[in-house]
């Protein structure tokens, strides 16, 4: 129930500019943290990371991995997962863009970001989690 409601809210937020403070990020974090979404989040993250690892510069765009996302993953979960990966610095924006080839989502020709995989992020996240954990 909560996951369905959150997905519906996220669908309406997709068109919003990303300058609404942390509102979009907070909703993305909730969706990613929802246990019922973990399978979809893992599927999207695996496809994105594997695509970046196959690139010599560790770069990725949705043009390359869009068709590899399993069909059972709700479209909203793709954007939420990528956004969360950006927040955690697993993906970083390169400052460059390419034209979208997404005909299904009617985004053909729109500019979309090129991201790079930050291979240091998992170690940094692990250290941050350890620092935030209360002493036993």
As a 3-state breakdown, the chain gives helix, strand, coil percent values, each rounded to 5, of 55, 15, 30
Q: Which of 55, 115, 109 shows the shortest CA–CA distance to 79?
A: 115
- Residues 3, 132: Cα–Cα separation, whole Å: 27
Residue 11, domain extent: 2-132
Q: What are phi and psi of 45, to 5 degrees?
A: -60, -40
The kind and range of the H/E element at 107 are none
Q: Could you give the 3-state DSSP secondary structure of residue 31?
A: helix
Residue 59: predicted pLDDT = 92
Residue 9: predicted pLDDT = 53
Q: Quick one: tokens of 104?
A: 């299904």
Note the pLDDT tens digit of each residue in 61-76: 999 998 899 999 888 8
pTM, two decimal places:
0.67
Domain count, the chain: 1
Report residues of the chain scoring pLDDT below 50: 1-2, 13-14, 16, 18, 20
Q: In this prediction, what percent of the chain has a pLDDT beyond 70?
A: 62
- Point out which residues pair with 91 in neighbouring strands: 117
């Amino acid at each position: 129930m909560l996951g369905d409601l959150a997905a519906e809210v996220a669908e309406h937020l997709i068109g919003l500019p990303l300058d609404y403070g942390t509102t979009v990020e907070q909703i993305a974090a909730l969706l990613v943290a929802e246990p019922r979404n973990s399978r979809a989040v893992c599927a999207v993250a695996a496809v994105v990371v594997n695509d970046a690892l196959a690139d010599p510069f560790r770069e990725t765009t949705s043009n390359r991995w869009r068709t590899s996302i399993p069909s059972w993953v709700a479209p909203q979960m793709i954007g939420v997962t990528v956004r969360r990966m950006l927040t955690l610095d697993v993906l970083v924006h390169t400052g460059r863009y390419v034209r979208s080839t997404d005909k299904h989502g009617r985004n053909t020709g729109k500019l979309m970001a090129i991201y790079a995989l930050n291979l240091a992020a998992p170690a940094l996240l692990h250290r941050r989690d350890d620092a935030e954990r209360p002493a036993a």
